[in-house]
Amino acid sequence: MSCTIIVGGFFGDEGKGKIVAHIAHADEPVIISRGGVGPNAGHTVQVGDHEYSVRMVPSGFVYKKAKLCIGSGVLVDPRVLKYEVETLGVKGRIFVDKRCGIITEDHIARDKGSAFLSKKIGSTGSGCGPANADRVMRISPQAKDVPELAEYLLDVPLAINNALKGGQTVLLEGTQGFGISLYYGTYPFVTSKDTSASQIAADNGVGPTKIDDVIVVFKAYPTRVGEGPFSTEMTSEKSDAMGIQEFGTVTHRKRRIGGWDGKMARYSAMINGCTQAAITGIDRIDKACFGLTEYSKLTKKAKDFLKTAENDICCPITLISTGPELTQIIDIRKEYA
């Protein structure tokens, strides 16, 4: 049996989707289940020339043999879910926990209509903040109250715990990143829930004793969308000159770009209970690393960076992403097993 949690170590958009998709193909889990806030998340996964973007469906969907679940703690926007289920063709293997909180048009209107949320915090406007507020006030509907969701309902924690009891492999997919955790991030410039590994376990109804590994994903050059402190941020002139330009998956806003933050990485690894780390964007440290799949072929510059990062994180770096495509990755997890 093995249960692995994958979470973001910086401000989100670390490339978790691609890491989840790779691990899914390598480890063949029976269930991939999502935790995290809701459709404010945007994950992209590139397979060959095709780029997929998801907000509700777990990014592990590209691995076709797993059951895909949305854990009890996650907010579901039935319209976004329906659109993704249809366009991605995942009907029949996607399930929603009956207790998930529901995002209504009213939540979206309140999110977009609030100058505090939409301007000062820079929310994604997806209704998550107001929906979580209503959930805490115990007035929001649950998935089991929504007729269109009837065909997807499942007791997700029960399915996951049964799979683990049967010795099977499960992946728990986190969203967002450590720096925008409601508890540990740069409050008030944060999202509406904790985003750390413990929360992802709780979102899926999996107790802490059942977790074998926590993989924290860090970006060599972290990014942030929305407002709030970002201590290693560089000017957009500098990041443009370095050829780094990124746009949000959900809001299409230009992402702010920063340098490696060792102090934040260490603190984030600690709170997440990191057992192994993944680094994405190593090809930005040295272009010569683009697309590599073997550790020995990495350049000295890249290896030096990884050594520094490993010292900061205090955990082995076992996954190194060398480009956006699914197969552009170095996986040395076996060497640490």
What does the binding site for Mg ion look like in residue numbers (CB under 5 A)?
13, 42, 249
Residue 41 binds ligand IMP, judged by CB under 6 A: yes
Binding test (CB under 6 A) with ligand IMP, winner from 192, 204, 239, 268: 192
C-beta separation of 25 from 325 below 8 A:
no
Closer residue to ligand IMP (CB): 210 or 219: 219
Question: What's the CA gap between 287 and 142, in Å, rounded?
Answer: 47
Q: Is the dihedral of CA 141, 145, 151, 157 positive or negative?
A: positive
Cα(29)–Cα(225) distance, integer angstroms: 31
What are the DSSP E strand ranges found in the chain? 2-8, 31-34, 43-47, 50-54, 67-70, 75-76, 94-97, 101-102, 153-154, 169-173, 213-219, 223-224, 256-257, 276-280, 317-321, 329-331
At 278, list the tokens: 């993944």
Contact track, ligand IMP, 148-167, x by CB under 6 A: --------------------
Closer by beta carbon to ligand IMP, 77 or else 312: 77
Which of 20, 62, 180, 309 touches ligand IMP by CB under 6 A?
180
Tell me the closest approach of the beta carbon of residue 12 to Mg ion, in angstroms.
Answer: 5
Number of helices (H) and strands (E) in the chain: give both, helices first.
11, 16
Residue 13 annotated in active site: yes
* Sole binder of ligand IMP in the list 39, 226, 258, 281 (CB under 6 A): 226
CB 215 within 8 A of CB 278: yes
Residue 226 interacts, among Mg ion, ligand IMP, none and using kind-specific CB cut-offs from 5 to 8 Å, with ligand IMP
Q: CB nearer to ligand IMP: give 128 or 211.
A: 128
Size of the site for ligand IMP (CB under 6 A): 20
Interface residue with ligand IMP among 108, 225, 271, 315 (CB under 6 A) is 225
Q: Is 240 a catalytic residue?
A: no
Measured from the CB atom, the residue of 156 and 217 that comes closer to Mg ion is 217
Instruction: Report how far residue 260's alpha carbon sits from residue 240's, in angstroms, rounded to the nearest whole number.
Output: 17
Distance CA 273, CA 199 (A): 12
User: By CB under 6 A, what part of segment 108-127 binds ligand IMP?
Assistant: 121-124, 126
Question: With the C-alpha atoms ordered 100, 104, 106, 110, is the resulting torsion angle positive or negative?
Answer: positive
The correct pick among 5, 7, 9, 13 for binding ligand IMP (CB under 6 A) is: 13
Cβ neighbors of 295 (< 8 A, separation 6 or more) are 320, 330, 332
- Which does residue 312 touch among Mg ion, ligand IMP, none (CB within 5 to 8 A, set by kind)? none
272: Cβ contacts below 8 Å, ≥ 6 apart: 7, 9, 178, 196, 197, 214, 216
CA 159 from centroid of its chain's CA atoms: 21
Which range, of 38-46, 56-64, 77-85, 235-243, touches ligand IMP by CB under 6 A?
A: 38-46
Q: In this complex, which beta carbon is closest to ligand IMP, that of residue 126 or of residue 318?
A: 126
Chosen residue from 104, 140, 169, 175 binding ligand IMP by CB under 6 A = 175
For position 176 contacting ligand IMP by CB under 6 A, the verdict is: yes
| Residue whose entry in the numeric block shows the structure tokens 């030096």 | 304
Stretch that binds ligand IMP, among 77-85, 133-141, 173-181, 201-209 (CB under 6 A): 173-181
The catalytic residue among 13, 194, 203, 213 is 13
Per the residue annotation, which of 22, 43, 97, 312 is the catalytic one?
A: 43
Burial of 153 (0-12, 13-18, 19+ CB in 10 A): middle
Residues interacting with ligand IMP, by CB under 6 A? 12-13, 37, 40-42, 121-124, 126, 128-129, 175-176, 180, 191-192, 225-226
Which residues are annotated as catalytic? Answer: 13, 43
